[in-house]
Structure 1
């Protein structure tokens, strides 16, 4: 059993006790968001991802998301994250000729607080990515309740409004890069202000907009949903903002899937997720939404197959063009996979 910081433990026997056969196994899927982890007590690299991705669903390709993995151990501090892109590009190079094309596009980390000076880091990561770097993510998660924040990714309050950070964001569009945003839902208005300021930069909201339903937020579920929903609808007014549907298996989401004797079924997942996923779909439309596994983080709550089955159940009544966008089209467009 693995437990790292704020993450839920991965219990392989528990997961195996409720893993479902893939529904619609021929439907093409591009996983819009997953990680490699190489941390004390927790290894989830290419072999582990392939084991999950080859569990029955037709995962054709994936987008790799930065995860503090295999940084350079020496040299200038600002350039050490380039090591992650170098590592992922190297270990997945041979996989580009096979299905799934793991890390067909990559999202790196660069400290955007460097302002204009971050361009050196971005250019180094573009070179290291060998044509596969699509954008960056600089985590901005902050809350007054520090128990909600992973200490590995804690950010100062108001980072999205910081002038130096914004000067860093200004470097992205000229280099053809997008900006992934992981934050908590009370910070969404700050993201709206940022995305409005940079209309030529694609912003991709991670994990349905940072749903938090534990700690003090657990006491006011209706207020949480109302505030989250209003902010997501406001963001949807900006055509350069997209949203990843998924990432709802984390501790902060408060669904408590991990507490069951067996893993949740895809029906249970779909029922729990429906208000959040459908609100995003109604606001943004299928053309600006994409499904993600968020593995291995969400693996503490449900098996890989069950998660994708839930997405398929949630969209059972959607049109084929909408489903094509959600499972493959939007992520291909935003991250230029084609």
Structure 2
């Protein structure tokens, strides 16, 4: 079986997605429901998924918990709280005590949009991360390459907190360059409490050139060397991936990239690691 460790859902009548702008992003400017998710994974081996937040809105996470309660495929939720807020602990407690709070496994923030490259090492953010750790949750890192040094410093402060790196820190696939992304990724991966999602790569390249495993191979090789198959998890990043590839194509590219791994190693990437990390 397969776990998809990263996907989204949204209803534009309930909440706008302000990051969906411009003609090229227009395929995403519609609702994506649990019914759409079921249809996307219907002919795949995916039996469990992780629903991840999309906007910094405190109302979104409770709604996602309710969706997890109603959809048999959603096995975990990664939500959002304001880590800089003095009430972060109370907010986390409120989510965990929600009637569907048992689905909450982690917290994420769009650090990639923060203008301060050292946002993750601010004292108020570190206090928020401490609250996440005390709540028994994990923290997902959504960062770009220039933010990797700060992410590494934050990770080093919390050796008992599990961090999950989203989208391999968004390497510059379209330019064909590896540095400084590769060096920053290796430094982060040196910390054993970090796990990485094999996700989001198809949309970091020229969308018209995807899906193409050969173009992604140099970046996958760096990620595999840095984390090893035991700390990698497949994620579709659906429906965002639709900008470059269909769900089945993203899954196919991931299987192509991991074709040389052993059966046990591939099982870790596509199933067992996510089940362990998210306690599925």
1:213 positional shift: 5.3
TM-score, length of structure 1 as denominator length = 0.74
Normalising by structure 2, we get a TM-score of 0.89
Name the count of aligned residue pairs: 263
1:5-84 correspondence runs (5 A)? 28-39=1-12, 41-54=29-42, 56-68=43-55, 81=58, 83-84=59-60
* Larger radius of gyration between Structure 1 and Structure 2: 1
Cα deviation digits, residues 42-100 of structure 1 (max 9, x gap): 2112111111111x21111001101139x5xxxxxxxxx1x32322232342433xxxx
Secondary structure, in 3 states, of the residue corresponding to 2:179?
A: helix
Offset, 1:111: 0.7
Superposed CA RMSD: 1.7
Q: Secondary structure at the match of 1:131?
A: helix
Gaps of 5+ in 1: 1-27, 72-80, 142-153
Instruction: Please point out which of 166, 184, 191 is paired with 1:206.
Output: 166
Q: Which runs of 5+ in 2 are unaligned?
A: 17-28
- In structure 1, what is the Cα distance between the partners aligned to 2:31 and 2:151? 32
Task: Indicate whether 1:124 and 2:94 are aligned.
Answer: yes
Task: Determine if contact 1:249/1:299 at 8 Å carries over to the other structure.
Answer: no
Cα shift at 1:212: 3.5
SS at match of 2:101: coil
Tell me, yes or no, if the aligned pair for 1:108 and 1:125 is still in contact at 8 Å.
no
- Matched with 1:192 is 152
Return closer, same or farther for 1:298/1:63 CA change in 2, 3 Å cut-off.
Answer: same
The aligned residue for residue 88 of structure 1 is 64
- 1:285 aligns to what? 228
Report SS of the residue matched to 2:84. helix
Structure 1 residues 8-58: Cα deviation after superposition (integer angstroms, max 9, x where no partner): xxxxxxxxxxxxxxxxxxxx110000011223542112111111111x211
Q: Does 1:161 align with 2:121?
A: yes
C-alpha contact (below 8 Å) 1:109/1:138 kept by paired residues: yes
- Is residue 245 of structure 2 the alignment partner of residue 302 of structure 1? yes
